Amino acid sequence: MKKKFKLEGLECANCAAKMEKLISDLDGVKEATVNFITQKLVIDGEREKMPEIIIAAEKIIKDLEPDTTLKNL
C-alpha cells in the first residue's frame, strides 16, 4: 500500500535525500520517495507493517531535521 505525507518545514535537500535512503531501507518498505520540491513523502510498503514503518520514518525525519513535521495526506 502507498501512504502519502507532507513534510512541513523541510528545508535541507541533502537531508531529504538521506531520509529517502533510510526510509527505503526500513523493514517492510518497498520504496520510499521524498520530493524536496513538493515536500512530500510517499511510502510504498506492506500493509501490516505500516504502523511501525510510520513510527520509524518519523524518528528518521526528526533525527535528520528536527524542525520538520510529518503530516498525513
Partner 1 sequence: MQNRLQRIIIGAVLLVIALVLQTNFQGINIALYLASYLIVGGDVIRKAFRNIIRGKAFDENFLMTVATIGAMLIAEYPEGVAVMLFYQVGELFQSYAVDKSRKSIADLMDIRPDYANVKKGDELVRMDPDEVQIGDIIVITAGEKIPLDGKVIEGSSMIDTSNLTGESIPREVEVGNEILSGCININGVITVKVTKEYEESTVSKILDLVENASSKKSQSEQFITKFARYYTPIVVIIAIFLAIIPPLIIESAIFSYWIYKALTFLVVSCPCALVLSIPLSFFGGIGGASRKGILVKGSNYLEALAETEIIVFDKTGTLTKGVFEVQEIHPKGISKEELLEWAAYAESYSSHPISKSLIKAYGQEINQGQITDVEEIAGQGVLATVEGQKVMVGNTKLMERMDIPYYKGEIIGTVVHVAIDNSYAGYIVIADEIKVDSAQAIQELKKANIKHTIMLTGDTPNIASKVAKKLGIDKVYSELLPADKVEKVEELLLQKSPKGKLAYVGDGINDAPVLARADIGIAMGGLGSDAAIEAADIVIMTDEPSKIATAMRISKKTLGIATQNTVFAIGVKITVLLLTVWGLTSMWAAIFADVGVTIIAVLNSFRALNVKNL
Give residues in contact with partner 1 (CB under 8 A). Answer: 11-17, 21, 31, 33, 35-40, 42, 63-64, 66
12, 14, 36, 47, 49 from 17: Cα distances, Å:
9, 5, 8, 24, 23
The least distance separating partner 1 from the CB of residue 46, rounded to whole angstroms, comes to 18
The maximal CA–CA distance of the chain, rounded, in angstroms, is: 31
- State the Cα torsion 23-28-33-34 to the nearest 10°: -30
The least distance separating partner 1 from the CB of residue 13, rounded to whole angstroms, comes to 4
Name which of 14 and 72 has its Cβ closer to partner 1: 14
Name which of 38 and 55 has its Cβ closer to partner 1: 38
Name which of 1 and 38 has its Cβ closer to partner 1: 38
